[in-house]
């Protein structure tokens, strides 16, 4: 039997999660090159439109939530709409019962509640998959906005990994791990 995966698009309250398309390359480039967006992320920045297009091609065939997969998906306010952000979904072969998520919004979409709706929508879909028991989010301890986002969705802090990574500026950071656990 094949490993379960999520069928796209996944829709929720005013949010559509689907594949990135080549039409998203320019917006993805701008979003990932924005210093405030890139501050807590590990991607190379600035990101050229050409590199964004190549990245989108890489993600096109990547499964969603299969063990040993990781994919970046588009967040939109409506089907066929402009790119409002991107969402990361990763599931390791070592811990297939857990799926990690992360989100970045295009700056002009901040403050609309879209991140809450997107994380809620993808988390609900992930927790419906056989074998998935929890959704995780790993967050820089200085990223208070992301901490608040995941707590508003119902995630709880489960661990702190002290000094676990080096930030862009060379400082050492602590990673906070939040989890949303399947109920029942």
23 assigned to some structural domain: yes
- pLDDT, tens digit, for every residue of 45-82? 899 999 999 999 999 989 999 999 999 999 999 999 99
Q: Is residue 178 part of a domain?
A: no
Supply the CATH number for residue 51's domain: 3.40.630.30
166 in a domain, yes or no?
Answer: no
How much is the average pLDDT of 154-166?
A: 93
Query: Does any domain span residue 45?
Result: yes
- 104 sits in the region (left: phi over 0; alpha: psi -120 to 50; else beta) called beta
Report yes or no on 182 lying in a domain: no
From CA 128, how far away is CA 124, in angstroms rounded?
6
110 located within any domain: yes
Q: Is residue 165 one of the residues assigned to a domain?
A: no
Classify residue 142 as exposed, middle or buried by CB count within 10 Å of its CB (0-12, 13-18, 19+).
Answer: middle
The pLDDT value given to residue 184: 63
The C-alpha angle 123, 126, 127, rounded to 5 degrees, equals 85
Q: What is the mean pLDDT of residues 107-122?
A: 95
- Judge whether 128 lies within some domain: yes
The DSSP output letter for 66 is -
Say what the pLDDT of residue 1 is.
38
- The string of pLDDT tens digits covering residues 22-51 is 999 999 999 999 888 888 787 778 999 999
Q: How confident is the model at residue 160 (pLDDT cuts 50, 70, 90)?
A: very high
Q: Count of domains in the chain? A: 1
Using alpha carbons, select from 68, 61, 121 the residue that is nearest to residue 95. 68
- What pLDDT is attached to residue 41? 80
Confidence band for 108, pLDDT divided at 50, 70 and 90: very high
Over the stretch 118-158, which tens digit does the pLDDT of each residue have? 999 999 999 999 999 999 999 999 999 999 999 999 999 99
Which residues span the domain enclosing 26? 10-135
What pLDDT is attached to residue 3? Answer: 57
């Amino acid at each position: 039997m094949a490993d379960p995966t999520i069928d796209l698009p996944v829709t929720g309250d005013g949010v559509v999660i689907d594949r990135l398309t080549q039409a998203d390359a320019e917006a993805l480039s701008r979003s990932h090159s924005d210093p405030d967006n890139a501050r807590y992320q590990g991607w190379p920045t600035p990101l050229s439109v050409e590199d964004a297009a190549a990245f989108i091609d890489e993600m096109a065939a990547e499964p969603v939530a299969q063990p040993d997969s990781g994919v970046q998906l588009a967040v939109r306010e409506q089907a066929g709409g402009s790119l409002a952000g991107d969402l990361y979904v990763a599931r390791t072969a070592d811990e297939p019962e857990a799926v990690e998520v992360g989100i970045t919004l295009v700056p002009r979409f901040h403050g609309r509640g879209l991140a809450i709706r997107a994380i809620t929508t993808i988390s609900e879909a992930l927790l419906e998959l056989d074998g998935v028991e929890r959704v995780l989010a790993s967050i820089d301890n200085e990223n208070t906005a992301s901490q608040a986002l995941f707590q508003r969705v119902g995630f709880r802090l489960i661990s702190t990994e002290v000094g676990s990574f080096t930030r862009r500026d060379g400082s050492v950071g602590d990673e906070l791990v939040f989890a949303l656990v399947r109920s029942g």
